[in-house]
Amino acid sequence: MAEEILYNYEHSSGPLVPVCVPWERLTDATPTLGNPCEVASAVEGTHLSGAIMSLDADAETAIVNIAPGAMYNWKVRNVRTYDQGAEATFGAINYGDPVYYDSSSTMPAGVYLSTSPLDEDGDPNDHFGFIATVTPEHAADYPKGDTDASTEDCQVSLCGAGS
């Protein structure tokens, strides 16, 4: 039995592509409703990007929306590079910028997305989506942040599958 199903947090009105995923396939071992997630594929180096729509604690499964182009409001860290395991450089986040699923230990609690293509160990972060806007009013909110470390509320468009 699902604990809860959340339908109202998606920003876009596009199609849903819900898939059922065992928790063991999620990068985050403690999935949270509404969070971005990364689903490991059986093919090394590939993954799915999505949003957790529903969790079933008994079956340890999640329903994840993987629809490319679906837009969500999530926090994004403005880290660009790491040096010896520490965040090194930062930059403003602008619409059109790529966003990566970043499980580096330096990420603030509850933040899974950054603008860094590499993690703290120098390994590639998986491409998750893009910074996107819906209206001219939203576009006026960008760029967000600057060359100082920050975590920004952003609209993120899913890329769905990635590598």
The domain ranges of the chain are: 14-65, 71-162
Q: How many CA atoms lie within 13 A of 10 on its CB side?
A: 25
The pLDDT value recorded for residue 162 is 57
Residue 22 · residue 58 · CB < 8 Å: no
What pLDDT is recorded for position 43? 83
* Class of residue 111 by CB neighbours under 10 A (exposed 0-12, middle 13-18, buried 19+): middle
Does pLDDT of 4 surpass 60?
A: no
Q: What is the per-residue pLDDT for 153?
A: 93
Return the closest-CA partner of residue 101 out of 66, 134, 136.
Answer: 66
What letter would DSSP give residue 59? T
Pairing between β-strand 113-114 and β-strand 71-77 as defined by DSSP bridges:
parallel
Render pLDDT for 27-82 as a digit per residue (tens, 0 to 9): 888 899 999 999 988 887 788 889 999 999 999 999 999 998 888 999 999 999 99
pLDDT number for residue 46: 80
Which residues are 99's β-sheet partners? 129
Token match 């819906």: residue? 134
% of the chain exceeding 90 in pLDDT: 67
